[in-house]
Amino acid sequence: MDNFAHMKPFILFGSSIMIIIILISAVAFINKKNEIPEKHIEVVLRDLGHQLLLTAKDSSSRVLPIKKLDKNTYRISFQNNFNFISDTLINLVQRTFQKNALANDYIVNLRSCKQNETVLAFEINSKKENLTPCRGRKLEIGCYVIEIDLLQKTKFNFFLLLLLIIPLGVVGFYVKNKFGKKEEKEAIFDNKDYIQLGSFRFYADNNVLKIENNNITLSEKETKH
């Protein structure tokens, strides 16, 4: 029993760590499930490229395979040269993204293939004012690529914080209670107000009977007898 009592804090601490790891893994799994599948993003972006070509009266050339440049950035390329008005691209992106629930916040860059320079750019942001500085411009026929950066929202996960607080609170309560009792016992035995009963010391104010290193807490009924 003494060994178990000695190991109890370590068992409790280890169990709390395991609970925290399991909860963090569960939240990560839920977030992973909520992520938009890559294939869905690719289909939506290909449809966007197709609609843009149709507005340029091109129904025969192809949208080339979508390239993922980094974690959140994608590139749409085209087989042939074409031209369009900047408002067409802005409106098409907004309408397509809203229809397919792809993203609320994103930055779009239209680049020329040869010079790799930005021809036009705009930002749609649900939390701030949209930036569409290139409206009304008619682009000449040329080779273009569209790069779309899907902006990630930074969310403070209160649910995860709550899950972390619960086991940590249990550990904290146990430690506080453990040390509180220890301090209480030390305060008892610093007290000189006791009754000597043979080899025992009886602390009447605390109903504690002490012999050497053993402490016995008595009930009120036992104390009266």
| Contact call for residues 104 and 126 (beta carbons, < 8 A) | yes
For residue 145, give both structure tokens: 């690529």
At residue 2, the pLDDT reads: 46
Q: pLDDT tens, 124-135?
A: 988 888 998 878
What is the mean predicted confidence (pLDDT) over 75-98?
93
- Look at the pTM and tell me if it is higher than 0.85: no
DSSP at 131: B
At residue 127, the pLDDT reads: 81
- Tell me the residue type at 21: I
For residue 221, give both structure tokens: 């009924």
Q: Which residues contact 26 (CB under 8 A, 6 or more apart)?
A: none
How much of the chain, in percent, has pLDDT values that exceed 90?
Answer: 34
What H or E segment, with its residue span, contains residue 28? helix 2-34
At residue 103, the pLDDT reads: 85
Reported as a pLDDT band with limits 50, 70 and 90, residue 88 is very high
Reported as a pLDDT band with limits 50, 70 and 90, residue 115 is confident
At residue 195, the pLDDT reads: 66
At residue 136, the pLDDT reads: 85
Q: pLDDT tens, 37-54?
A: 889 999 999 999 999 999
On the 0-12 / 13-18 / 19+ scale of CB atoms within 10 A, 201 is middle
The strands making up 144-150's β-sheet, listed across from edge to edge, are: 67-68, 73-77, 144-150, 106-112, 118-124
The mean pLDDT value of the chain amounts to 76
The span from the CA of 143 to the CA of 188, in Å, is: 87
Range ranked top by mean pLDDT from 84-93, 155-164, 179-188, 215-224: 84-93
User: Is the pLDDT assigned to residue 76 strictly greater than 90?
Assistant: yes
At residue 154, the pLDDT reads: 54
Is the model more confident about 17 or about 112? 112
| Residues pairing with 122 in the sheet | 108
The span from the CA of 20 to the CA of 60, in Å, is: 56
At residue 188, the pLDDT reads: 52
What H or E segment, with its residue span, contains residue 197? strand 195-197
At residue 192, the pLDDT reads: 62
User: Is the pLDDT assigned to residue 141 strictly greater than 80?
Assistant: yes
